[in-house]
Structure 1
Amino acid sequence: MTVSLEQLRRCHFAVDLGAARTRVYVKGAGLVVDQPSAAAVNTRTGALIAVGEFAEQMTGRTPDYIKVVRPVSGGTVVDIEMAQRMLRHLLGDKMRRMLRRKPRLRAAACAPHGADPLAQRATVETLVGLGARRVELVDTLIAAAVGCGLPVERPEATMVMVCGAAATQVAVLSLGSIVAAERIPVGGEAVDHAIVQHLRHAHELVLPTQSVRPLHLALSGNGLTPHGPASAEIHGRDVVTGLARSVRVDTAAVRNAIQTPLTAVLDGIGKVLRDCPPDLVADLADRGIVMVGGSALLPGLDQLLRRATRMPVYIAERPDVCAAQGLGAMLEGRIEPLRLQAA
């Protein structure tokens, strides 16, 4: 997955296919697509009814013959044909016509760290179906680090944590390459699922849909920290009667419920630090960890990591679009490789 900056500068557009959202950056136009990775399909006719935000709103509210599908799971394309159809509709006719005019259309795409060849090929075939003659794959960790402004090309340690919906990726970078990295199969969805299960077992309450962010409903302010609100009111459906019901939830119990998935993330950070040379770890004591990705915005997560690692923890300015913006910066030629001065 090693690709040079010179090859990326020849690309015309870049795609970040995430489990939660899909983003497309077009050279010279900027970020043109930022929509949920969802599509609504009529199972009787096979027709595509909606994509993006509208399809996301349909989740759990459709008749039997309409199905909301997600062609991307864990950063990997699991349904190539549906992913192509979704991207075509998200781009629109005007943008696709503009791209088709490019001679030898080239594309770049994010790929999760450690993705197997089959997953990489699925991403490549998805973009080839859109007309790309060549596809360059960039590690999501490098793209995210560039997108949030970290000096990845310098001989200094930078640590980035990509908090995705299906997985969390942690890496230490130096001189434009990954020194040590770990991919933990725990993301924002696992945290949500832990809270959903807690509400079901402790309060016999079912939330309306899995797509609702229960953490944001249950917590506010300092969120995951003990200084947050003592309780919060949650609305859902009673397991026994099926009627609508509201319960007052103790946020301390919610914090305990999500400790299991968060412990796996902390273990992954520890493994990355153990695999790093001591000099780079010493750099990180001052620079800390930069969090990117949509799940980085979970309330209080940065404070929890700060207490557990005893390192500074920062959230990028726009954490959800850092990977796409990083790809765009490389396409536009805004990133220069480190050049050694001649003696």
Structure 2
Amino acid sequence: MTATLERLRRCHFAVDLGAARTRVYVRGSGLIVDQPSVAAVNTRTDALIAVGEFAEKMTGRTPNYIRVVRPISGGTVVDIEMAQRMLRQLLGGKVRRSLRRRPFLRAAACTPHDADPLAQRATIETLVGLGARRVELVDTLIAAAVGCGLPVERAEATMVMVCGAAATQVAVLSLGSIVTAERIPVGGEAVDHAIVQHLRHEHALVLPAQSVRPLQLALSGNGLSPHGPDSTEIHGRDVATGLARSVRVDTAAVRDAIQTPLTAILDGIGKVLRDCPPDLVADLADRGITMVGGSALLPGLDQMLRQYTGMPVYIAERPDTCAVQGLGAMLEGRIRPLVLDPLAG
């Protein structure tokens, strides 16, 4: 970990390429970009029309010649050229010029746990296209744990759960490294999709693309817990007539509809704990699980995890930006390296 920290201190900026949002941290300036990972393109001229929040608002509302694309899926760059164009626009000309003035521009980026070499290469090429001469890759789990203030460098267990839009990553860390981890291909989007499908099949209702997250509407109050409201009103479009319609949805039925993706997450947590050494599990009984990521704010998810594991569950103060803030702390040199001096023979 010492060598990695030394290299990260030489980096000038850090990027967290998420399926939902892209964040950029510049050393000395802090977090300067926090925008949706969306771009709108004119298919006739191949011109970039909009990026970030403005492009996201265009989803489902564009004519045929405008295409809204997401160049990042599950923390992996699936369209390198479009990701580079999106990042250039998000950074702006002034920041790009200041970065280009660096004699040997270095960048850092988060990568999902166990990302394959092809996915890592795509991330590196994306940042090289922005002018970076060297790119350091950091596991998202470690960056998120550092960003939410967990003492990952100590000889005791810390458990972090990164709840992303496309995937959920769970890990137990000790001595600055990952002891055991699991990446579950289920995230906030899968839960949203389950709710959308439930409303379509049971109530013949289609939700507009730009509505408030159906998750937050259907699970208002105490969310996943049975103590929440019995029903809630949802506005959408009738499948048959295409006219606007409102229905009152039973929240208990919604909770049942999202059990499948949530069960996969619980199974992943169980696997991590089974693979973890007993001494570290004993530490976790007191320290518990720290949740980070945008989907950590799913109402009632922390209560469900608390009941399943029997351990304390905490949500980070700013769960959505923990990973990039962890990278920023490494860039700024705020993390002390762990030094293990060999014993003299």
What's the TM-score once normalised by structure 2's chain length? 0.97
Summarize the alignment of residues 80-229 of structure 1 with structure 2, pairs less than 5 Å apart. 80-209=80-209, 212-229=212-229
* CA distances 1:220-258 after superposition (whole Å, capped 9, x unpaired): 221111111111000000011110000000000000000
Q: 1:280 to 1:210 in 2, by over 3 A?
A: farther
Q: 1:3 to 1:185 in 2, by over 3 A?
A: farther
Structure 2: how far apart are the matches of 1:3 and 1:164? 28
Please give the secondary structure, in 2, of the residue aligned with 1:4: helix
Cα displacement (A) at 1:173 = 0.2
Cα displacement (A) at 1:211 = 7.1
Q: Which runs of 5+ in 1 are unaligned?
A: none
Write the letter of the residue equivalent to 1:47.
A
* CA distances 1:120-141 after superposition (whole Å, capped 9, x unpaired): 0000000000000000000000
* CA distances 1:254-292 after superposition (whole Å, capped 9, x unpaired): 000000000000000000001110000000001110000
Match of 2:244 in 1: 244
Compute the RMSD of aligned alpha carbons. 1.4
Cα displacement (A) at 1:210 = 7.2
Q: 1:2 to 1:129 in 2, by over 3 A?
A: farther
Cα displacement (A) at 1:59 = 0.4
1:59–1:211 Cα contact (<8 Å) kept:
no
Write the letter of the residue equivalent to 1:65.
Y
Match of 2:15 in 1: 15
Match of 2:274 in 1: 274
Of residues 221-230 and 109-118 in structure 1, the stretch that sits farther from structure 2 once superposed is: 221-230
Write the letter of the residue equivalent to 1:221.
G
* CA distances 1:172-208 after superposition (whole Å, capped 9, x unpaired): 0000000000000000000000000000011010001
Cα displacement (A) at 1:212 = 4.4
Write the letter of the residue equivalent to 2:136.
E
Please give the secondary structure, in 1, of the residue aligned with 2:190: helix
Please give the secondary structure, in 1, of the residue aligned with 2:146: helix
Structure 2: how far apart are the matches of 1:129 and 1:3? 26
Match of 2:51 in 1: 51
Write the letter of the residue equivalent to 2:196.
V
2:2–2:338 Cα contact (<8 Å) kept:
no
Match of 1:285 in 2: 285
Structure 2: how far apart are the matches of 1:309 and 1:252? 22
Cα displacement (A) at 1:217 = 1.3
Q: Which runs of 5+ in 2 are unaligned?
A: none
State the 4+ residue runs in structure 1 displaced beyond 6 angstroms. none
Structure 2: how far apart are the matches of 1:160 and 1:3? 23
Match of 1:65 in 2: 65
Count of residues in correspondence between the two structures = 343
Give the % identical residues. 87
Structure 2: how far apart are the matches of 1:93 and 1:316? 33
Please give the secondary structure, in 2, of the residue aligned with 1:335: coil
2:57–2:210 Cα contact (<8 Å) kept:
no
1:291–1:314 Cα contact (<8 Å) kept:
yes
Match of 2:262 in 1: 262
